[in-house]
Structure formats: structure tokens, C-alpha cells
Amino acid sequence: PVHRKSVIQKARLKLPILAEEQEIMELISQNSVVIIAGETGSGKTTQVPQFLYEAGYAINKMIGVTEPRRVAAISMSQRVAEEMNVSNEIVSYLIRFEGNVTDNTKIKFMTDGVLLREVQNDFLLTKYSVIILDEAHERSVYTDILIGLLSRIVPLRNKRGNPLKLIIMSATLRLEDFTENLRLFKTPPPVLKVEARQFPVTIHFNKHTFDNYLKEAYNKTVKIHTKLPDGGILVFVTGQQEVKTLVQKLRKSFKLRRNVAKTQEHNSDSDEASEIEQDLKRTLKRKKIRKVMTPVNLDDYSIPGDNDVETESELNSEDEIGEIVINTSKPLWVLPLYSLLPSYEQAKVFREPPEGTRLCVVSTNVAETSLTIPNIKYVVDSGKTKVKLYDKVTGVTSYMVTWTSKASANQRAGRAGRVAPGHCYRLYSSAVFNDTFQEFSVPEIQQKPVDDLYLQMKCMNVDKVHNFPFPTAPDLMQLKTAESRLEVLGALKNSKVTSLGRAISKFPVLPRYGKMLALSHQQNLLPYTICIVAALSVQEVLLETPITQSPEEAKNLRQKWGAMRRQWAGVGNSLLLGDPMVLLRAVGAAEYANTDGKLETFCLENGLRHKAIIEIRKLRVQLTNEIKMNVPDSDIIVDPKLAPPSDLQSKLLRQIILAGMGDQVAKKIKQEELKESEDKIKLKYAYRANNLEEPVFLHQGSVLKKTLPEFVVYQEIYETNKMYMRGVTAIEPE
């Protein structure tokens, strides 16, 4: 039995899904596979696991719930534990590097990648009585594969008289991919639609579509805050950097703080937020907040000066967001939200804003479906999303900001109608929406390299990967490229997994890194390779732009960071190892600082992302344990005081990196090779990569710019204004 607190029970009763409990449970008991579709916020993620728990599904086995996003796995496990009034030993989470799962865990939230790994070790998932695949509409690669695998596992478990239930949960879109795919489910699973109480949301399109959507978003938010009645504002932009910029700008405009510049040493979000909090208290004590807003008729309202010409000329003249003079005394409680934000910061969006303030959350598309922020009445939608594009032929990746799909724009708008009628301000015209937006976003599996999952599937004895029941199949070209790259690595031979391939697949990193680990064992270089692989596998370890108030300060910091990185690079073979060496030394130095309890300061001062360093540490532990399990007599440890590699070791490390990335070589373009038309100065750092027509460049901060080696291998090519190589190591001269 569950003993919920009465406040929680009251809140639950308001959720539309609660009325459907009986029907849902009957459907589940009568069918092996059930699809539950419902609007975001209807209570799927928080309630369905509790229904199952109360119906006895967790008595002998666990209830497993997968989330495509780590953020959601953590915060949903916490929320469900809180609602059930139990500890996180009972309702727990497991993500790639961390978790709080115990032997007593009954409901386990995890990322879809974690469950896929478990399938490899226990194909029938015998620990579970039911698997919920949440957010299936997001179409993440791992969730897609899990659907395919579970469509086979469920009948197998039934045959053995030990049934497993599969519940697919999704927003109400594109369900046909699951129901009308006969290869996946011969008899289409029943779909239960949760009718959510969705209040009408009035959509306001801009008359014109401007390039500078960040500035538009700022202006719109300011106008809503100064002119419209109470209610939270949710702003969608594309990435972490944009979120930070906009948050800073909004906080600055609605000055809540005095003497910020003086008291503020580090400009991290947490400092800023707590400072605002304190400042607010002071302000609120001193004077009662005056109401300055006149009520506006919401049904007949358009923001004055919405699309006037003045805005247009302003927009063309500068890149920065302009400032508007504000005459309201009502404070705006501005919070950022993106997936790399620390979880205690993320949790703030669920709390009531301080009294007398209006909540404004600036978010990436994390807030689209996975997290429901309470009391949002206004949505400001840039209409943009940042996607990682991957060229199937050349392998070039690029981050591109593009229009999102109609489906996700509608999800975003829906966020405004959870508590009362709401408004969505789209910063683009209806013509753009109708003519340019695609209906749906492309499933992730069709836009990234599939090497790792190809190998994993081979290891699970899926012989003909092209026949696998994918909800949406990757195209043949992607599969062929993956197969041939795996053959080159030696992970496959004649389409069969080699013993090297099996060793590689054990590591939770890309196959090419797995190979580097497998090779290092022979050379006694493991602690270094582990550290390099861990660092290369984590995003954004070295920061590029300092976040400070003054440009002066930013410039100084950048110079300081650059000098530090050149120092880390060292000389000789160390320098030739390039970016991996800088990462290795950066991690080493950070861990060293950590032994004195100075990690955070060290990261701030040297331009390292604190959370990345922690992730790298966890991955190092995980990789080390994995190796120890397979090689019992190895005595490797994760040493926080790992000495830098010797010159000889650096040379061997370069060879190992070459073995892993040998298919990604680039050759320096010689000045005499240049055509007349090509600008010699601009091409100083240019290389010719394998199969690319256009030149590729050493990235801005590359330590190899001084030596300009003739041949290099790279981790990845990405495209911004030009094509740049990331993770570069020299392979010449020998």
C-alpha cells in the first residue's frame, strides 16, 4: 500500500490520467503490448508506474521505465518517489554514469541507452515484470531499437510462462509508426488515448520573420511581462548558449539586484539565482510591490507595436539584443533550463516563484515534452531547433539551427494551455509555418552514424541488421558504411563479430574508442587511454567563451585559458598528440586540484566545464571496472594523481589513436598546391580530408597551429562557417 501525503493526493486527482486508471490496468492485463498516448502534462510518466506498482507488478520483479533524456530519468524518479512517499532506494534511477538503484528498487527510471546495455547481458530482461518506454514520439535511436527488440522479447517471455508487459508511452503524434508497422507488431497493439484537459491556446504569428530570433524573443518576453496579466512565460530557443544569453539579458533588464558587479565574483547561474533570491527578499521587505499593469482583454489582444517597421530597422543594425527601458516594478523570476544544467538548478523550475514575481523559464526543447513546467500561460516560440546533422557519405557533422517541425511547434504551444487558456507567440509568420515547416522531425536513427548500434546488434546475434524490425529503418547506405567501418576496425570479419569486436562492444563508448582501449592493454598505457577516451566521449570539456560581464575580462580570460592549454600540450611527442593531450592534462590537473578540494575554482579559472570533469571521472571508473572484469589480474586504478605520460608513452599513444581513427586522416594543403583563386592566407591552417572536396581547418584553439603537421587524424569534422576538425593528433613526422 502507498501512503501519499494529502497535498500530493489532491494534485494527483487533478490529473486527467487518474480517471483512466482502471481502463489502463485492464488493458495492460489483457494485452502484452499497450500504447498510451496523451498530451504532455496529463500524468503519464509520473502516474502509470504508480498504477503498476499498486497493482502488484513490483512484488517479485521491477518496473522499468526508460527516458531518452537523462534529465527526465533523474527528475521523474525523484518526483515519483516523492509522490509515493518512499525513499529513492525504492524508486531509483540509473543513467550512464550514475544512479541510486539498490537491491530494494521497485521502480527503476533509466535512460534508454542503459536498458539497451542490459538487454545485451540479459536478453530476456528477467529482472523486469514490465517495461515502459517513455517519450517514444521523440524517436531517439535507443528507444527505437528497444521497441524492435522488445517486440521479440515479449513473445519469448510469454512462451516461457514468465510474461513481460510492454507499455509504449508517447505524445499524441505519429503513432502509426508503431501501430501500422506489421513487421514490428503483427497485431497492432491497442492505443489508449488520455483525454487531457487542454485549455485553448491562442496562436499569434508574427507578420514578418526576422533572422535575429533571440532579439525578437527578448522583445516579446519584455512586452508580455510589462503589458499582460499574470502567468508564467516559457521561451523556447535552441541551445545552452542562447539560453544563457537571454537569461542574462532579461535579468539585467528587470534589475532585481544592486551592486551586482561588485559582489559577483563568478557568474555562474547558481550564484546569480541565489543572489537574486536574497535581493528580492530585501526589495520585498522594503516596499510592497505596486500593481502597474492594466488588465487586458485576452481574447482581443495583440501586442502593440508587434511587427512595426521600427523593429525591422533596429534588427538590421546590430547583432546584439537591444535593450528596452522598462517601467514596471514587478520582478521577473528568470530561470534557465537545458539538459547540461546541474540537476539542482533544473529542479528550480518546478518550484513556486518567489511571491510577487512572475516566472519566466528560458529553455531548449527539453521543456517541449519531457518536463512539464507548472503554471505557464505564455509561450514564446522561436520556432528554431538545433540539430546535429551528419552527412552519411562524408561523415561530416554540423550543428545547424533550423526550423523545427509543425508537430513540435504545436507541442510547444500546448505548454501554454495546461492551467487556463493561454497564448503562444510564434516569432515567425504563418506563411513560413505553413510552407517551410516539415510535418514531423526526422527520427534520430536516420541522421546519425549507426556504428555502435550495428556492432551491438551483431553481438546480440541479430544477423541481418537490415531485416531488423525498426519502427523507421535507417537507410541501407548508413548500415553499409557502418559495416565497412567496423570491418576496417577489425570488429567484424565477413559480417561476423570478431573477438576484438566483442571486446570493443563491452565498452560504453564508440567502437573506435573501444578499439583504442583494447590495444592499450598490450602497451601498458591503459590509464592514459582510458582518460583520453573518457574525455573524448564527453561533450564540451574545454570551454571556448568565458561568460563575464565585460568584454575586457572575457578577453583576458580567453588569453589565460589559451596559454594554459599550450602549456598542457607540452613539446615533442606530447605536443604532436595534440588535442587528446590537452584533454588528458586538463583532466589530470583538475583531478589534482580536486584532491585539495579545489575542483570548482580550478575549472572556473581554467575554462573547464565542471560537470564534464565529473562525468569523465565516472566514465573512467566505469571503463576501468569493465577492463578489470575482463582481465582479472590487471591492477589499473583511476589515479587522481596520474603523472603526465613520458615522451615515449606519448608516441605510443599517438599510434593507438591512429589505430582507432585511421580512417579519418587529413593532409596539409601545401601553398604551391593552391589554385590561383584560393586565398593563401586564409588557407594557412587548411587540410584536405579523405573524401571531402572543400578544405578543412584546424580549429580555433588548436595547439597544432604552430607545428602544422603534414598528416593528422581527427575525431570529427564539424561545420560552422567553415569546416573544422575536432580532436586532432599529428601522425607525421615519425
Peptide bond into 155 cis (omega under 30): no
Q: From the CA atom positions of the chain, what is the Rg in Å?
A: 27
| Residue position matching grid coordinates 535581493 | 279
- Which string of x and - marks every residue 614-633 that binds Mg ion (by CB under 5 A)? --------------------
For the chain, how many helices (H) and strands (E)?
27, 24
Whose Cβ is closer to ligand ADP: residue 42's or residue 181's? 42
The minimum distance between CB 322 and ligand ADP, in angstroms, equals 34
The minimum distance between CB 97 and Mg ion, in angstroms, equals 23
Whose Cβ is closer to ligand ADP: residue 83's or residue 451's? 83
Whose Cβ is closer to ligand ADP: residue 20's or residue 444's? 20
Whose Cβ is closer to ligand ADP: residue 198's or residue 264's? 198
Q: Pick one of 32, 45, 649, 729: the residue that binds Mg ion (CB under 5 A).
A: 45
The minimum distance between CB 27 and ligand ADP, in angstroms, equals 17
Residue 165 contact among Mg ion, ligand ADP, none, beta carbon within 5 to 8 Å by kind: none
Whose Cβ is closer to Mg ion: residue 66's or residue 649's? 66
The minimum distance between CB 549 and Mg ion, in angstroms, equals 38
CA distance 535 to 591: 13
The minimum distance between CB 146 and ligand ADP, in angstroms, equals 18
Among the residue ranges 38-46, 326-334, 461-469, 565-573, the one whose residues contact Mg ion (CB under 5 A):
38-46
* Using rule CB under 5 A, residue 365 touches Mg ion: no
Whose Cβ is closer to Mg ion: residue 45's or residue 649's? 45
Task: State how beta strands 232-236 and 358-363 pair.
Answer: parallel
Residue 348 contact among Mg ion, ligand ADP, none, beta carbon within 5 to 8 Å by kind: none
* Using rule CB under 5 A, residue 46 touches Mg ion: no
Q: How far is CA 127 from CA 106, 157, 220, 506, in A?
A: 10, 12, 51, 21
Whose Cβ is closer to Mg ion: residue 170's or residue 441's? 170
CA dihedral 137, 387, 545, 510 (to 10 degrees): 80
Contacts of 398 (CB under 8 A, 6+ apart): 388, 389, 718, 719, 720
Contact positions vs ligand ADP (CB under 6 A)? 15, 38, 40-47, 75, 79, 350, 372, 374
Residue 331 contact among ligand ADP, Mg ion, none, beta carbon within 5 to 8 Å by kind: none
Residue 372 contact among ligand ADP, Mg ion, none, beta carbon within 5 to 8 Å by kind: ligand ADP
Whose Cβ is closer to ligand ADP: residue 72's or residue 717's? 72
The minimum distance between CB 416 and ligand ADP, in angstroms, equals 14
Among the residue ranges 37-45, 328-336, 483-491, 618-626, the one whose residues contact Mg ion (CB under 5 A):
37-45
Task: State which residue has the least CB distance to Mg ion.
Answer: 45
Question: What are the CB-based long-range contacts (under 8 Å, 24+) for 300-304?
Answer: 301/228, 302/204, 303/204, 303/220, 303/223, 303/224, 303/227, 303/228, 303/425, 304/223, 304/227
> Strand, helix or coil at 297?
coil
The minimum distance between CB 38 and ligand ADP, in angstroms, equals 5
CA dihedral 252, 253, 256, 260 (to 10 degrees): 30
* Using rule CB under 5 A, residue 212 touches Mg ion: no
| DSSP 8-class letter at 99 | B
* Cβ atoms 6, 83 nearer than 8 A: no
CA distance 317 to 574: 46
CA distance 82 to 107: 13
Whose Cβ is closer to ligand ADP: residue 197's or residue 680's? 197
| Residue (of 466, 471, 451, 511) closest to 149 by Cα position | 471
2: amino acid identity, one letter = V
Footprint of Mg ion (CB under 5 A): 44-45
